[in-house]
Chain A
Amino acid sequence: MLNNAITDLMTKMADDELIQGHRNSEWTGLGPVMEEDIAFSSMAQDKIGHSWALYRIIEENLGGRQADLFAFCRPENEYKCCHLVEYPNSGYDFSLMRHFLFDQAEAVRYESMLESSFEPLQQLSRKVKGELKYHTLHANAWVMQLSKAGEESYDRMQTALNEIIALAAGIFEPGKAHEQVLIDAKVYPGEKELYNRWLDRIYPVLVKASLNLPALESITPAYGGRNGQHTPYLAPLLKEMGEVFNLDTAANW
Chain B
Amino acid sequence: MYGGGYIFEEPNNRQVREEKIHDEPEKLAAFEDRIARGEKIEPGDWMPAEYRRQLIRLIEQHAHSEIIGALPEGTWITRAPGFKRKLALIAKVQDEIGHGQLLYNAAETLGKTREAMINDLLSGKSKYSNVFNYPAKTWADVTVIGFLIDAAAIVNQVANSKGSYGPYCRALERICYEESFHLKQGHDAFIELATGTPAQREMLQDALNRWWKPIMHFFGPPDKTSQHSEKLMQWKVKMASNDDMRNQFLDMYVPKIWELGLTLPDPLLRKNAETGRWEYSDPDWDEFFRVINGGGPCNEERLQVRKWAEEHGRWVRKALMKPTEKHTLPVA
Q: Which A residues lie at the B interface, using CB under 8 A? A: 22, 25-26, 28-38, 41-42, 44-45, 48-49, 52, 67-68, 71-72, 91-93, 145-146, 149-150, 152-153, 156, 237, 240-241, 243-245, 247-248, 251-253
CB <8 Å contact, A92 and B91: no
Distance A57 CA – B101 CA, assembled complex (angstroms): 37
Distance A4 CA – B298 CA, assembled complex (angstroms): 50
**Residues of B with C-beta under 8 A to A241:** 78-79
Given contacts A30-B309, A34-B104, contact A45 B83 (CB under 8 A): no
* Subset of 25 A-B contacts with CB under 8 Å: A25-B77, A25-B78, A26-B78, A29-B74, A29-B93, A30-B74, A30-B309, A31-B97, A32-B314, A34-B67, A34-B97, A68-B82, A72-B81, A145-B319, A146-B319, A153-B315, A240-B79, A244-B79, A248-B197, A248-B200, A251-B199, A251-B200, A252-B192, A253-B81, A253-B193
Q: Which B residues lie at the A interface, using CB under 8 A? A: 67, 70-71, 74, 76-83, 85-87, 90-91, 93-94, 96-98, 100-101, 104, 139, 189, 192-193, 196-197, 199-200, 305, 308-309, 312-317, 319-320
Distance A226 CA – B139 CA, assembled complex (angstroms): 32
Name A44's closest neighbour in chain B (CB-CB).
Answer: B90
CB <8 Å contact, B70 and A29: yes
The distance from the CB of B229 to the nearest CB of chain A, in whole angstroms, is 30
Distance A41 CA – B67 CA, assembled complex (angstroms): 14
Name B309's closest neighbour in chain A (CB-CB).
Answer: A30
Apart from A248-B199, A252-B196, 16 more pairs, CB < 8 Å: A28-B93, A29-B70, A32-B314, A34-B97, A37-B97, A41-B97, A45-B87, A48-B86, A146-B319, A153-B316, A240-B79, A244-B79, A245-B82, A251-B200, A253-B189, A253-B196
Chain B interface, DSSP helix/strand/loop, else mixed: helix
The distance from the CB of B312 to the nearest CB of chain A, in whole angstroms, is 6
The distance from the CB of A71 to the nearest CB of chain B, in whole angstroms, is 7
**Residues of A with C-beta under 8 A to B82:** 68, 72, 245, 253
CB <8 Å contact, B79 and A32: no
Name B68's closest neighbour in chain A (CB-CB).
Answer: A29
**Residues of B with C-beta under 8 A to A67:** 83
Distance A241 CA – B76 CA, assembled complex (angstroms): 9
Task: Name the contact of A29 in the complex, choosing from B79, B80, B96 (C-beta under 8 A).
Answer: B96
Chain A interface, DSSP helix/strand/loop, else mixed: helix
The distance from the CB of B95 to the nearest CB of chain A, in whole angstroms, is 9
CB <8 Å contact, B83 and A52: yes
The distance from the CB of A171 to the nearest CB of chain B, in whole angstroms, is 23
**Residues of B with C-beta under 8 A to A48:** 83, 86-87, 90
CB <8 Å contact, B77 and A28: yes
Given contacts A150-B319, A243-B79, A253-B192, contact A30 B94 (CB under 8 A): no
Distance A37 CA – B94 CA, assembled complex (angstroms): 8
Name A245's closest neighbour in chain B (CB-CB).
Answer: B81
Task: Name the contact of B319 in the complex, choosing from A152, A240, A243 (C-beta under 8 A).
Answer: A152
Given contacts A29-B74, A38-B98, A253-B192, contact A45 B313 (CB under 8 A): no
CB <8 Å contact, A45 and B90: yes
The distance from the CB of B97 to the nearest CB of chain A, in whole angstroms, is 5
The distance from the CB of B81 to the nearest CB of chain A, in whole angstroms, is 4
**Residues of B with C-beta under 8 A to A49:** 87
Task: Name the contact of A240 in the complex, choosing from B78, B97, B100, B309 (C-beta under 8 A).
Answer: B78
Distance A244 CA – B199 CA, assembled complex (angstroms): 12
The distance from the CB of B149 to the nearest CB of chain A, in whole angstroms, is 16
Distance A42 CA – B23 CA, assembled complex (angstroms): 49
